[in-house]
Structure 1
Amino acid sequence: MFIFKKVGDLDEYLQKRRADGDKIGFVPTMGALHEGHISLVARCKADGVLSVCSIFVNPTQFNDKNDLARYPVSTEADMELLLRAGCDVLFLPDVSEIYPGGEDKAPVYDFGYLDTILEGAQRPGHFKGVGQVVARLLQIVRPQKLYMGQKDYQQCMVVRRLLQIMGTDTELEICPIIREADGLAMSSRNRRLTEPQRTLAGIIYQCLVSIQAKQGTDNFALVRKECEELLRAKGLTPEYVSLADARDLRLLDNYEHNTLMVALIAARMGDIRLIDNILL
């Protein structure tokens, strides 16, 4: 695995690989890697493209600076995971490489209503930062394929819109959620859960399965109320339990037959924020 910290060095290497006819697959991460991230690298390998992974904790997407300070960093362990996964290239930039003119000079992209609902409403400014860092990384790596996980479903929709705004031909591949045995979606934040909290956190997935199972029998408002009560009973504070059109994230008041839908949940366990979703 080749490791680069400077944009110029990475660009020189990737230009040589392009000249050799290689296509590039890109997996952007903020580190604290788990099997969900590794599944994205595996998808690169399966697609026969050069696997480029980045680790960069982007300061502009944290609306809560305390959350940034608490974000887990485990670079050495991350590198070991990527080596075992057969990752071809790791990009480890610092802030000055990503934002050479300063964070306040990065362009701002308009994502419309996607920036005002669900995660956008709960984390003001978050998607502004996501757009800035993903756009910059795409300009650096110039991949044919971009691999992201379904767990951050709204982020995937934002990035899809970003690709349209940028006019790039990069293809977004949204890959399935990788789950623990009890259904909890793998997340870097899970490692901050205490053992008792971790035992209870699987209730989020149980709620999603319930939403999925009751789509032909119950009104969604009733199902949402049941889920919110169940989450609270297990010590979580729900921020939203929502249903949306999976194609454009248009929020739905009730189940719509013959529509591909997505159920989304965000809840806090103490000061740890967890999100998950399931396609219906």
Structure 2
Amino acid sequence: MKIFKTVADWKNELATIKGKTLYFVPTMGALHQGHLSLVEKAKRKNTYVVVSIFVNPTQFNNAEDFAKYPITTEKDIALLEQVKCDAVFLPSVKEMYPNGTALQDEIDFGFMAQTLEGEFRPGHFAGMAQVVERLLRIIEPQKLFMGLKDFQQAIIVGELIKKRKLKIELVKCPTKREADGLAMSSRNVRLDKKSRAIAVQLSKALFYTRRKIQRLKREKNLAAVKTIVTAAKEKLAAYKEIEIEYFEVRNAETLRAETKISDKSLVALVAANIGGVRLIDNVVIA
């Protein structure tokens, strides 16, 4: 596995890749099986898979959250070697932003970037879009692989690709979960034993919501979505350690609120703080 730390070195490597399809997995490091599963999905006959590891400062609206983000570069590289990743792009902030981190030519994603995560993390998606576009223009992949744990992010990256007219296919991959259902996340390592045990309630509430809505869909019962959301939030409220930021059921394509159950594809999303660690999760409801 090759490691590249500069754009120039990567571009030299890019010029040597002949007859292979280039697949890309962007990460902020602190890798877990969810990340590795993206690499494994990307590994196909005659493909070249590159993973980036870059903790992007412009997408953190909370300086403390940025400071606490786990850095495990040596371990990450060892894990990527195990899954036979072809290359790692490991740039510095200066390399990524030679002209400074100020936003330039910002895309207006409208409501999609203003709701949910956008409401609680102002500026997050502007910073995320900035670094993803920069990485895509550096790496020049044919396909981009992203997990659906960050559902809203994946939707916005899809919009980014459309608005910038990039010839890149976005491959959205299902969320990987621990045996008890907790969504795999780099932040999970910051949970103490008690908080880790409680955190699984987030996925339980999401799965409860999905079961209820799917049953009502089968019965063609156009019940109010609010009733089910309220019941799920009450389940979480039984744990005083869970500080809910949002628990919502939205249209899976537009992220707009849906008042009644219908044939539309939905997604249930949650964000909460547990033991000082902010976690997000979601489940798609077909």
Q: Please indicate the TM-score interval, normalised by the length of the shorter structure.
A: over 0.9
Once the two structures are TM-superposed, the CA of residue 253 in structure 1 deviates from its matched residue by 2.2
Q: Distance in 1 between matches of 2:259 and 2:192?
A: 35
Matching residue's letter, 1:244: R
Q: For structure 1, which segment, 105-114 or 31-40, has the greater mean C-alpha deviation from structure 2 after superposition?
A: 105-114
Match of 2:227 in 1: 222
Cα deviations across residues 77-110 of structure 1 (Å, max 9, x unaligned)?
0001000010000000001111110001543221
Measured on the aligned residues, the alpha-carbon RMSD in Å equals: 1.2
Q: Distance in 2 between matches of 1:264 and 1:47?
A: 36
Q: Distance in 2 between matches of 1:84 and 1:182?
A: 25
* Within-5 A mapping of 1:195-210: 195-210=193-208
Cα deviations across residues 130-154 of structure 1 (Å, max 9, x unaligned)?
0100000000001000000000000
Once the two structures are TM-superposed, the CA of residue 124 in structure 1 deviates from its matched residue by 0.2
Whether the aligned pair in 2 keeps the contact of 1:7 and 1:97 (CA below 8 Å) is: yes
Name the TM-score, length of structure 2 as normaliser.
0.94
* Within-5 A mapping of 1:155-166: 155-166=153-164
The answer to whether 1:12 aligns with 2:12 is yes
SS at match of 1:37: helix
Q: Distance in 2 between matches of 1:72 and 1:109?
A: 29
Cα deviations across residues 211-244 of structure 1 (Å, max 9, x unaligned)?
1111106532122122222212222011111111
Whether the aligned pair in 2 keeps the contact of 1:3 and 1:90 (CA below 8 Å) is: yes
Q: Distance in 1 between matches of 2:36 and 2:47?
A: 15
Q: Distance in 1 between matches of 2:162 and 2:48?
A: 23
2:115 to 114, 117, 120: 117
Unaligned runs of 5+ in 2: none
Matching residue's letter, 2:230: K
Q: Distance in 1 between matches of 2:190 and 2:259?
A: 34
Matching residue's letter, 1:165: K
SS at match of 2:9: helix
Match of 2:165 in 1: 167
SS at match of 2:15: helix
Q: Distance in 1 between matches of 2:146 and 2:122?
A: 22
The answer to whether 1:67 aligns with 2:61 is no
Cα deviations across residues 133-189 of structure 1 (Å, max 9, x unaligned)?
000000000100000000000000110010011111100000010000110000000
Matching residue's letter, 1:246: A
Aligned residues: 277
2:252 to 246, 249, 256: 246
Q: For structure 1, which segment, 69-78 or 211-220, has the greater mean C-alpha deviation from structure 2 after superposition?
A: 211-220
* Within-5 A mapping of 1:17-166: 17=17, 20-46=18-44, 48-104=46-102, 106-166=104-164
Whether the aligned pair in 1 keeps the contact of 2:19 and 2:46 (CA below 8 Å) is: no
Distance 1:153 1:105, change over 3 A: closer
Q: Distance in 2 between matches of 1:50 and 1:33?
A: 19
Whether the aligned pair in 1 keeps the contact of 2:247 and 2:270 (CA below 8 Å) is: yes
SS at match of 1:169: coil
Unaligned runs of 5+ in 1: none
Once the two structures are TM-superposed, the CA of residue 47 in structure 1 deviates from its matched residue by 6.7
Whether the aligned pair in 2 keeps the contact of 1:264 and 1:277 (CA below 8 Å) is: yes
Distance 1:254 1:273, change over 3 A: farther
Name the TM-score, length of structure 1 as normaliser.
0.96
Matching residue's letter, 1:116: Q
Match of 2:280 in 1: 275
Whether the aligned pair in 2 keeps the contact of 1:243 and 1:254 (CA below 8 Å) is: no
Q: Distance in 2 between matches of 1:59 and 1:137?
A: 14
Whether the aligned pair in 1 keeps the contact of 2:61 and 2:121 (CA below 8 Å) is: yes
Whether the aligned pair in 1 keeps the contact of 2:103 and 2:130 (CA below 8 Å) is: no
